[in-house]
Chain A
Amino acid sequence: MNQKLRNTLLLLAVSCLPLCGCSKPAGNGEPVIKIGSASPLTGPQAHLGKDNANGAQLAVDEINATGLILGGKKMHLELLVEDDQADPKTATMVAQKLVDDDVAGVIGHLNSGATIPASKIYYDAEIPQISPSATAVTYTTQGFNTAFRVMSNDRQQGQALGQFAVRQLGAKRIAIIDDRSAYGQGLADEFEKAVRAAGGTVVAREYTTDKATDFMAILTSIKARAPQVVFFGGMDPQAAPLARQMHELGLHAQLLGGDGMETPLFIKLAGRDAEGAIASTPGLPIQEMPGGLAFKKKFNARYGDIQNYAPYAYDAVYVLVDAMKRAQSADPEKYLAQLSKTDYHGVTGHIRFDRNGDLANTAITLYQVKSGAWRPIKTMQSGN
């Protein structure tokens, strides 16, 4: 028994040993400002999480290259990248770790489910947080003055999409599918409200999961209702096989989706069946933004294709630093006030925040797949 205990303690000690004595080298003598990035880097959404981290890293490296001067001193930005596994519990541990590491701000998290519980920890620690991709309305309505996002919320985007479907596409009969994730369900519910408000009819409401690849069963029942538009609330790995299976079943309706679908991956995975699909993304088309194409080129050269939200993570870092510059300080207490006064032109659009920390009067652009690429077809303004 005693020996067992000793063995165990030894094991524990060994596993804790490397935790201590790991201090970071402080760059080249410049004071360091740490910024956290939190997103899933393992698990089914790892490709999106890594994309966010890459976007943030690119911005950090650019800012370091041009040199950041605050209060007359040259500062060095450092990005601390953490894996939250898209899991709410892990997200809070990661958030606490970033707080312990004295980050001045956080870019993250990817999913609403991780962003919301983490936001409480950042709020308690008075550290600003900008999510590049969480869309759940509740994230910014909890009354936390530290919570921001550079992405439209479900209501803004769902409304724009719903109006577009009924008014521009002239659809009367609309089928809705969502993936029962916080993102997909939130967007689909708001879309449904907007469709009804605009006078459209929802002829079918079907569901799938965010891990599914087979949609034949729900598409077969949707086909029987003969909709003109099929709306999908979910991400590209589901949207692509969905598009293919619509084609296989001979279901000739307009496929419509949100920002989770407006990605190169969707086209890559759906191939020819992607043609004609329409999806929205907050912000203006990247080629219309100053510096947009340059960003895209730089990103592609370094990391390959943009998966989805990298430009938003990239902008989020610039928004943080912009506020720091105006406050001439990286102290959250000082620059938080400046952050809410942000007026910044990023690669994803004109970024200003409303009093909740949501994008104010965000533009939402609709894209259609034409000869193998997403092409902007219309930009809509969506207020709250």
Chain B
Amino acid sequence: MARQKRRAWTTFALLGVGLAILPLLVEAGIGRSWVRVLDFTLLYIILAVGLNIVVGYAGLLDLGYIAFYAVGAYCYALLASPQFGLHLPFWAILPIGAGAAALFGILLGAPTLRLRGDYLAIVTLGFGEIVRIFLNNLNTPVNITNGPQGITLIDPVRIDGFSFAAKHHWLGLTFSSPQQYYYLFLILTLALIFVALRLQDSRIGRAWAAIREDELAAAATGINVRNLKLLAFAMGATFAGVAGGLFAGFQGFVSPESFNLMESVMILCMIVLGGMGNIPGVILGATLLTVFPEALRYLGDWQQAWLGRIVVDPDDLRMLLFGLALIVMMLYRPAGLWPSRLRRREWQDKRAS
């Protein structure tokens, strides 16, 4: 037992050190653009872990999840940009964005409590589109969101005078802006993953599982189905709100086109592909689906290196290979790449019968 514990700690320590030096290695090894890819990977991990609460834990199929990300991003953009001349500090905006997203989560959840499965999917999809359309059109009669033009010159994240947009020297090393954002995102991602893990094993998490498996039976055992469903929507939305705020500060620009339906679908793909309900799987799914399309940018180079010439236009192939990968991975591992033990067992039982 003690040895196992020690081994777990060494694994954790190694993982920690690995994550800490990752951006340094990546920037030195394959370039700063990959640090940026890592940053986005972390944002998508937050999103995927958040959506996993709604879909994976509580079993509510949500196709409009990106709307909450949008709410978080626009909260940050409106409160820290020349749009209204407001420049609130980061520590104030992030909770506001998360809270606003949670409110929207409840707003979506309340009318849809009776809906199930695919009906819920289409209503959430509609909700996501409604939010996007409002963001895209609220430049008249009063200019709130600046419409399709988006909001520019958003303040970078600044904590106590420390700006994440500027270079900093520390311990004889120079840290670029994407690297600094990496550490900020990493801390928040780890904290949120911790929350998600604790939720899963809590009373609430078990109640969600009960609702997911059989709503009627759950209600019969005295679970307050309504409140718990709303809580799932709100919790999931909170995660997206945080990610949205980080996104706005990191990009310095938001516009409605970043929050389209395809983004919601991609996040859903991440959790299904990784292994729904299982946090490590979800993280893996988010990482793969963010990194893979970027890695495919080097198709032309690979063709040069291996075949000596460009055979097929790499830009023709990139998304095609991405689609094929989705199909093949799913056919090969239908329960996801890294499913929870419970799900894997269920799936094997089902196949055996």
Contact = CB atoms under 8 A, between A and B. Distances in A.
Direct contact of A and B (CB under 8 A): yes
B342 to A, nearest CB: 14
A96 B149 contact: no
Interface string B286-314: 01100110110110011011000000000
B258 interface: yes
B295 A15 contact: yes
Given A83-B315, A180-B136, A117 B252 contact: yes
Contact of A89 (B165, B251, B337): B251
A181 B133 CA distance: 11
A117 B149 contact: no
A116 B253 contact: yes
Nearest to A114: B257
Q: Is the interface of B mostly helix, strand, loop or mixed?
A: helix
Contacts of A207: 137
Interface of A: 4, 8, 11-12, 15-16, 18-22, 24-25, 41-42, 50, 81-83, 86-89, 92-93, 96-97, 99-101, 112-113, 116-117, 120, 124, 136, 138, 142, 180-182, 184-186, 207
A182 B165 CA distance: 26
B292 A15 contact: yes
15 contacts: A11-B288, A18-B298, A19-B34, A21-B305, A22-B301, A22-B302, A22-B304, A88-B257, A92-B251, A93-B40, A96-B31, A97-B297, A99-B32, A100-B33, A185-B148
B29 A113 contact: no
A113 B257 contact: yes
A25 B304 CA distance: 9
B177 interface: yes
Contact size range, B: 35 or more
A251 B258 CA distance: 36
B258 A182 contact: no
B255 interface: yes
A8 B333 CA distance: 13
B152 A142 contact: yes
A89 B149 contact: no
B351 to A, nearest CB: 19
Contact of A19 (B253, B298, B304, B337): B298
B334 interface: no
A82 to B, nearest CB: 7
B113 interface: no
Nearest to A49: B315
B13 interface: no
B284 interface: yes
B295 A16 contact: yes
A19 B30 contact: yes
B137 A180 contact: yes
Interface in B258-293: 258, 284, 287-288, 291-292
Contacts of A82: 297
Contacts of A81: 315
Interface in B134-184: 136-137, 139, 147-150, 152-153, 165, 177-178
Contact of A8 (B165, B177, B284, B315): B284
Given A12-B287, A116-B150, A181-B148, A88 B31 contact: no
Interface string B311-350: 0000100110000000000000000011000000000000
B212 interface: no
Contacts of A22: 298, 301-302, 304-305
Given A22-B305, A185-B148, 14 more contacts: A4-B338, A12-B288, A15-B295, A18-B302, A22-B301, A86-B257, A88-B254, A88-B258, A92-B36, A93-B36, A116-B152, A116-B255, A182-B149, A186-B149
A201 to B, nearest CB: 18
Interface in B233-269: 247, 251-255, 257-258
A182 B150 contact: yes
A19 B298 CA distance: 7
Contacts of A20: 29-30
B37 interface: yes
Contact of B257 (A87, A96, A138, A184): A87
Interface string B23-55: 000000111111011001000000000000000
Counting chain A CB atoms within 10 Å of each CB, the highest count among B40, B136, B148 belongs to: B148
A136 B31 CA distance: 31
Contacts of B149: 112, 136, 138, 182, 185-186
Contacts of B178: 96
B332 to A, nearest CB: 11
B194 to A, nearest CB: 19
Nearest to B313: A41
Contacts of B253: 88, 116-117, 120
B252 A120 contact: yes
B287 A113 contact: no
B33 A97 contact: yes
Contacts of B295: 15-16, 18-19
B199 to A, nearest CB: 21
Contact of B319 (A19, A42, A112, A116): A42
